[in-house]
Structure 1
Amino acid sequence: MSHSMRDVPAVVWRERIAQSNNRASGAIFYWCVSTAEASVEPRVVVAQFGDGYAQRRADGINTQDQVWDINLYNRLQPVADEVLDFLTERNGVDVFNWSPPRTGRTLNVICPEWSWSYGEMLADGSRLIDVRATFQEVHA
């Protein structure tokens, strides 16, 4: 019995596509974020000398990993649950792919920390949820 792509949940086929593209783990964070803020702290080795002189050098290769604080505001419960399930399944360990807004790049990242808060209640009784997460670039 054959199945069409219509029978496969969206998250599953996205993961299959990513696996065929040799991505880190095959998982892709595809939800559109409301805000994203990046920071970089280069890894540097410092040799401090007694006379106040210091010598600095890059600590290996890939020394400028990006850390992104992302927010998804006002998401309906089912969408927020999808995002939180995705992050929970990776448990801060498994590498996944994410494309920062307006960069044209895809990063291998982990999510060591995430949180959520309940927002407004809608007229139909459903509640909006805000999700916050930190994505750290890794080299797989």
Structure 2
Amino acid sequence: MNNKILIAASLLGITSVIMGAFGAHGLKASISVESLQTFETGVRYQMYHALFLLFVGSTPLISKKTKRLIFYFVLIGVFLFSGSIYGLATNPLTAFNFKTIAFITPIGGLLLIISWGIIFMDFLKIKSKNDN
């Protein structure tokens, strides 16, 4: 599981850098400053969660079950959250109206929040085990 998490983290990180460069250089002249800032929000959250998965995949402090849950919540969350933000920010450039699926952005955000909550709960269990 750790290897799968680390590979996914690396792919999220790589694509985050690519999307950031694309936004800064390829989209600058094509979308508004506000849309560019929105796009950058998607890039930033994707990178935050790539780093989060790097930690999750490399630490022995988290149980295997917790790692699995976090892995899926983060992957789906980033896809829905950052993916929909990329679509919404570049909406004027596409034939598809991403505003019709804008409701998936907060669902993705919720999944990311849940992943952090899951690790928090796992850490509380570690703390209480060590206190006894």
For the aligned pair, the TM-score class normalised by the smaller chain equals under 0.3
Choose 1 or 2 for highest CA Rg: 1
So what's the TM-score if we normalise by structure 1? 0.25
**Structure with more helix by fraction:** 2
Pick 1 or 2: higher relative contact order, CA cutoff 8 A, min separation 6: 2
